Amino acid sequence: MSSLAPRSDFPALQPRPGGGPVPAYLDSACMSLVPTPVLEAVNAYYTVHPGCAGRSVHRWAEEVSRLYEEAREVFARFLRAPDPQHLVHVRNTTEGINLVARGLGLRQGDRVLVSDQEHNSNLVVWQALAQERGIRLEVLKLPDDRTFDPEAFEGALARGVRLVSLFHSSNLDGRTLPAKEIVERAHDRGARVLLDGSQAAPHEPLDLAGWGVDFYALSFHKMLGPTGTGLLYGAPGQLEQLEPLLRGGETVSWSDYDRHELLPPPHRFEAGLQNYAGVLGARAAVDYLSELGMDRIGPHHQRLQRLAVEGLREVPGLRFLGPPDPAERGSIVAFVMDGVDPHDVALFLDEGHGVLVRSGMNCVHAWYRARGLTGNARASFYVYTDESDVERLVEGVRELRQHVGVSRPSAKDRPTAPA
């Protein structure tokens, strides 16, 4: 088995000066590696056309203005958005969620529904609004034995919800929620839907217009792009109802000493000089993924998922987190080892086998704290991951278990997720 994308395209996976094996990078759910075409696009901005879009009229400014808006058109086609003007350039998913949360005009008593597995990016802003404005935050408990419970979701909606804000795919256990079904059920109850697409957008074809989702946020740093680049999508008529987080240069059509007029979306939300190099790099990342074929990424992950599960399931005292069916865990293999701290697992794998994984609570503190857990180890794959990376993971975990005997966990340390 080989990687889906040529590993030679990724400088981080090439031999380093001084020798030694190239690390097995299994932390792509946190941040993906960047291929050479993306680095070249970023470099080209600074060396070929380092201008300010939308301001000056000289040739460099005109060129970057054209490329900046052309990137928005490419993103719209990639996401199947109805129009490029429904896409706002933001730094990351977190900023996109905050833009909706702060700009939607939620008031005292308005209910917002989240799940019990939300990343802090989709939790703490709502907690802040509960304190500041008196909104009511509702938490939907997701089932341990399957990805989604439509009856529980309907029960939550029946209590009167103005906005449903959920992850599309979980960074905790890889489960993917049914976007179209969630949108349809929420709209039937008069609620809008905001989806955190940071983990789904890198791994599957999206159809934002077809799903009818009101808002969708994503980060390019998880899909081969530069850090500090992302998008917020708003369905027709939705962005116009948001107040900008920031106001300033490039957000107004004119200003006087006592008043101003905002530009139409999306530009009213893009205050100040933008990350032009990052946006052009993100466009190169989307081009790269499109050429690979988004429909090929899921099957690639499933092959690696099966290989990892087959190698790890016989390790004594190891339990997987998430739905029992590995096919429902996407690109993520999250596990706990009885008697071993998750950070010790990560350090052992790094120092002993050159395997780089995530450890801890994955920015989903509430879920772990509710179960008395200190976290877990998490391996995550992407297009450059190959069979040898998974084999090194399995070898390292097995060796760690040989060094550390199995001790029965206490009740507070025992995960509630099925083995």
Task: State yes or no: pLDDT of 281 exceeds 70.
Answer: yes
Question: Are residue 304 and residue 247 in the same domain, yes or no?
Answer: no
Enclosing domain of residue 126: 39-291
Query: Using 50, 70 and 90 to split pLDDT, how confident is the model at 283?
Result: very high
In a domain, 401, yes or no: yes
Q: Is 35:9 a contact under the CB 8 Å cutoff?
A: yes
> Can you tell me the mean pLDDT for 335-364?
96
Is 223 exposed, middle or buried (CB count within 10 Å of its CB: 0-12, 13-18, 19+)? buried
- Residues 250 and 320 grouped into a single domain: no
Task: With a cut of 60, say whether residue 236 has pLDDT above it.
Answer: yes
What token pair was written down for 261? 């007029």
Percent of the chain with pLDDT strictly greater than 70: 96
Rounded to an integer, the average pLDDT of 21-40 is 97
What are the C-alpha distances in Å from 212 to residues 158, 186, 205, 218, 298? 21, 11, 15, 16, 23
pTM for the whole thing? 0.95
pLDDT of residue 1: 57
Mean pLDDT of the chain: 94
Strand partners, 114: 139
pLDDT value at residue 408: 54
Among candidate residues 31, 36, 21, 72, the one with its CA nearest the CA of residue 274: 72
In whole angstroms, what is the distance from residue 219 CA to residue 196 CA?
Answer: 9
Tell me, yes or no, whether 80 and 102 share the same domain. Answer: yes
Any domain includes 1: no
Counted domains in the chain: 2
Q: 136 falls in which pLDDT band (50, 70, 90)?
A: very high
Please give the average per-residue pLDDT across 119-138, as a whole number: 98
Contacting residues for 6 by C-beta, under 8 A, at least 6 apart: none
User: Residue 23: is its pLDDT beyond 60?
Assistant: yes
Residue 2 maps to a domain? no
Write the pLDDT tens digit of every residue in 355-392. 999 999 999 999 999 988 899 999 999 999 999 999 99
- pLDDT category, 135, cuts 50, 70, 90? very high
Q: What pLDDT does residue 414 have?
A: 44
Out of 233, 267, 291, pick the residue that ends a domain. 291
On the question of pLDDT at 111 being above 80, the answer is yes
Say if residue 344's pLDDT is above 80.
Answer: yes
- Residue partners of 194: CB distance under 8 A and separation at least 6: 97, 100, 163, 164, 165, 166, 213, 214, 215, 216, 217
| Per-residue confidence (pLDDT) for residue 146, from 0 to 100 | 86
Taking the C-alpha atoms of residue 248 and residue 269, their distance in angstroms, rounded to an integer, is 10
Q: Looking at the domain assignment, is residue 258 inside a domain? A: yes
- Shared-domain flag, residues 334 and 375: yes
My answer on whether 152 and 269 are in the same domain is: yes
How does residue 407 score in pLDDT terms, banded at 50, 70 and 90? low
Mean pLDDT of 248-272: 95
Residue 419: inside a domain: no
**Domain end (from 269, 291, 313):** 291
Whether 413 has a pLDDT exceeding 70, the answer reads no
Please compute the mean of the pLDDT values over residues 32-53 and round it to a whole number.
Answer: 97
Q: Are residues 251 and 343 in the same domain?
A: no
Same domain for 313 and 277: no
With respect to residue 110, please indicate whether it lies within any of the assigned structural domains. yes
Residue 363 catalytic? yes
Mean pLDDT, residues 82-91: 98
End residue of a domain, out of 291, 306, 339:
291
* 46 and 86 belong to one structural domain: yes
Residue 369: Cβ-neighbour burial (10 angstroms; 0-12, 13-18, 19+): exposed
> SS3 of 346, please?
helix
Query: Is 50 exceeded by the pLDDT of residue 416?
Result: no
Give the contacts of 128 (CB within 8 A, at least 6 positions apart): none
In a domain? residue 418: no
Among 74, 252, 309, 363, the one annotated catalytic: 363
Q: Model confidence over 162-187: pLDDT tens digits? A: 999 999 999 999 999 999 999 999 99
CATH number for 353: 3.90.1150.10
pLDDT in tens, 242-259: 999 999 998 999 999 999
Q: What integer pLDDT is reported at residue 115 of this predicted model?
A: 98
Confidence check: pLDDT of 216 > 90: yes
Asked if residue 326 and residue 279 are part of one domain, the reply reads no
316: in domain: yes
Range from 18-22, 122-126, 201-205, 393-397 carrying the lowest mean pLDDT: 18-22
pLDDT digits (tens, 9 = 90+) for 285-324: 999 999 999 999 999 999 999 999 999 999 999 999 999 9
Residue 55 pLDDT class (50, 70, 90 cuts): confident
Confirm if 199 and 168 have CB atoms less than 8 A apart.
Answer: yes
Residues 352 and 208 in one domain: no
Read off the tokens for 35: 């291929």
Report the pLDDT value the prediction gives residue 415, as an integer from 0 to 100. Answer: 42
**What pLDDT is recorded for position 145?**
85
Q: Which of 17-31, 278-292, 404-418 has the lowest mean pLDDT?
A: 404-418
Q: Is residue 287 located within the same domain as residue 323?
A: no
The reply to whether 14 and 59 lie within a common domain is no
